[in-house]
């Protein structure tokens, strides 16, 4: 996101009743050339910054000074499996995590893991040994605009729709994409068919699933991605 767009959104949002601004998307937030300027600007507005990082570029002292809590993605501690799923810098990530633990309490670290059927016990043990208790494990997102990136064997099943989305029922989140488009949640990756939150509400009231909500866990509570047996797993990017 361009700097001017970011500051105009921040200026506007800081006048609303919000507490936390999360800098994240599908890319790596810390790759943004002005990431730390953004963090400073959020704090200068009296707001709390948050981010989920892949941990490869973490500056431990800066993180400790600026973030009350930080999210780090770790799906495995197995170097071979990490390589297969595209987490190419595992060694550096784990080294950075230990550097972070040297300067802040483990209570300020939240580990995010996607459950792709990999053994999770070694990772859980690794975190427990470091005193990290906040471990959020989520399934692979079954939404259509995520699933189109998956390997052919990873097919989603959605089941029945509730037509009630909590992100539309109340303003839980305002998400801005890099063009400044405001969305009701962070799950809409293909914005081509998105018009407005109001239109999504109207469609769901008419028991129509909006194109940009197809397969979303918020309205398809039984949706899941069928994964091939771990030994056959190959992730393409
Ligand atoms: C949007 S990401 C990206 C931020 C950063 N690049 C990283 O790797 O942490 C934030 C979280 O979403 C998770 N995520 C990404 N793709 C996902 C998917 N298809 N299904 C479920 N979670 C996913 C990531 O693993 C990460 O924990
Ligand atoms: S994508 Fe999901 S969370 Fe977002 S508005 Fe649609 S149903 Fe709700």
pLDDT, tens only, 150-204: 888 888 999 999 999 999 999 899 999 999 999 999 999 999 999 999 999 999 9
Q: Are residues 68 and 150 in the same domain?
A: no
Q: Are residues 100 and 203 in the same domain?
A: no
What pTM value is reported for the model?
Answer: 0.93
Name the nearest CA neighbour of 63 among 49, 73, 74.
49
Would you place residue 74 in the very low, low, confident or very high pLDDT band (cuts 50, 70, 90)?
A: very high
- Which ligand 1 atom sits nearest the alpha carbon of residue 146? 19
Task: Give residues (CB < 6 A) around ligand 2.
Answer: 165, 167-168, 184-185, 187-188, 200, 213, 216, 218-219
Q: Are residues 13 and 112 in the same domain?
A: yes
Q: Are residues 104 and 25 in the same domain?
A: yes
Range of the domain at 205: 141-237
Q: Is the CB of 146 under 6 A from ligand 1?
A: yes
Ranges of H-type helices in the chain: 3-13, 35-44, 60-66, 79-84, 90-101, 121-129, 144-147, 166-169, 197-205
Would you place residue 236 in the very low, low, confident or very high pLDDT band (cuts 50, 70, 90)?
A: very low
- Which ligand 1 atom sits nearest the alpha carbon of residue 27? 6
Q: Are residues 1 and 73 in the same domain?
A: yes
Q: Is the CB of 28 under 6 A from ligand 1?
A: yes
């Amino acid at each position: 996101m361009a700097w001017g767009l970011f500051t105009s959104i921040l200026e506007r949002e800081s006048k609303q009743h919000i507490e936390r601004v999360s800098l994240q998307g599908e890319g790596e937030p810390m790759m943004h050339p002005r990431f730390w300027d953004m963090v400073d600007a959020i704090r200068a507005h009296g707001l709390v910054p948050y981010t989920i990082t892949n941990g490869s570029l973490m500056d431990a002292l800066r993180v400790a000074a600026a973030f009350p809590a930080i999210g780090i993605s770790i799906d495995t501690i197995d170097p071979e499996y990490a390589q297969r799923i595209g987490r190419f810098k595992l060694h550096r990530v784990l080294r950075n995590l230990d550097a972070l633990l040297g300067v802040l309490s483990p209570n300020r670290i939240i580990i995010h893991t996607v459950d792709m059927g990999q053994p999770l016990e070694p990772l859980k043990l690794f975190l427990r040994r470091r005193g990290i208790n906040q471990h959020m494990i989520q399934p692979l997102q079954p939404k259509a605009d995520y699933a189109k990136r998956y390997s052919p064997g990873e097919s989603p099943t959605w089941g029945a729709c509730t037509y009630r989305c909590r992100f539309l029922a109340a303003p839980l989140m305002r998400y801005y994409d890099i063009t400044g488009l405001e969305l009701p949640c962070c799950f809409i990756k293909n914005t081509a068919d998105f018009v407005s939150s109001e239109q999504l509400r109207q469609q769901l009231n008419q028991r129509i699933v909006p194109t940009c909500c197809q397969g979303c866990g918020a309205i398809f509570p039984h949706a899941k991605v069928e994964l091939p047996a771990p030994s056959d797993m190959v992730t393409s990017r």
